[in-house]
Amino acid sequence: MALLLAIESSCDETAVAIVRGSPGVQTQVLASEVASQILLHREHGGVVPELASRNHSLHLRGLVEKALTTAGVSLTEIDAFAATNGPGLASSLLIGSTAAKGMACATRRPFLGINHLEGHLLSPFLQQTSVPAHLALIVSGGHTLLLDVQGAGRYQKIGSTRDDAAGEAFDKVGKMLGLCYPGGPEIEKIARTGDPQAYDFPRSMLHDPHHDFSFSGLKTAVLYTLQKSPSPLPVADLAASFQQAVIDILVQKTLRAAKETGHHRIALSGGVSLNLALRSAFEKACAAANYQLILAPPAFCTDNAAMIAFAALLRHLAGECSALEDDIHPNLPLV
Q: Buried b vs exposed e over 163-193: b needs ≥16 C-beta within 10 Å?
A: bbbbbbbbbbbbbbbebebbbbbbbbebbee
94-107: pLDDT as tens digits: 999 999 999 999 99
Task: Judge whether residue 116 has pLDDT over 80.
Answer: yes
Report which secondary-structure segment, H or E, holds 133: none
The domains located in the chain, with CATH, are 2-127+300-317 (3.30.420.40), 134-296 (3.30.420.40)
Does residue 3 have a pLDDT over 90?
A: yes
Q: What is the pLDDT of residue 23?
A: 86
**What's the rounded Cα separation, in Å, for the pair 170 and 155?**
27
The answer to whether residues 221 and 244 touch, using CB atoms and an 8 Å cutoff, is no
End-to-end Cα distance, the chain:
29
- Going through the chain in order, the beta strands assigned E by DSSP cover 2-8, 13-22, 25-36, 80-86, 111-115, 134-139, 144-151, 154-160, 265-269, 292-295
Average pLDDT over residues 84-99: 97
- Average pLDDT value for residue range 317-329: 96
- Tell me the pLDDT tens digit for each residue of 126-176: 988 789 999 999 999 889 999 999 999 999 999 999 999 999 999 999 999
What is the average pLDDT across 66-70?
Answer: 98
pLDDT number for residue 127? 82
Q: Which pLDDT score, from 0 to 100, does residue 231 have?
A: 84
Whole-number Å distance between alpha carbons of 28 and 195: 42
The pLDDT of residue 219 is 96
Three-class SS of residue 288? helix
Task: Indicate whether 40 pLDDT > 90.
Answer: no
What per-residue confidence (pLDDT) applies to 191? 98
Strand ranges of the sheet holding 25-36, from the earlier edge strand across to the other edge: 25-36, 13-22, 2-8, 80-86, 111-115
Q: CB neighbours (10 Å) of residue 217?
A: 16
What pLDDT is attached to residue 102?
98
DSSP-derived 3-state class of residue 256: helix
pLDDT, tens digit, 9 for 90 and up, residues 270-321: 999 999 999 999 999 999 999 999 999 999 999 999 999 999 999 999 999 9
With 80 as the cut, is the pLDDT of residue 26 above it?
yes
pLDDT tens digits, residue range 166-216?
999 999 999 999 999 999 999 999 999 999 999 999 999 999 999 999 999
Find out whether 42 and 12 touch, Cβ atoms under 8 Å.
Answer: no
CA distance 308 to 290: 31
In this model, does residue 46 exceed pLDDT 90? no
pLDDT given for residue 25 in this prediction: 86
Please state, for a pLDDT cut of 90, what percent of the chain lies above it: 90
Model confidence, pTM: 0.95
**Which residues are CB-contacts of 104 (< 8 A; sequence separation ≥ 6)?**
80, 81, 110, 111, 324
> What confidence score (pLDDT) does residue 130 get?
85
* pLDDT of the residue at 128: 81
pLDDT at 75: 97
Report DSSP state, residue 225.
H
Mean pLDDT of 229-244: 94
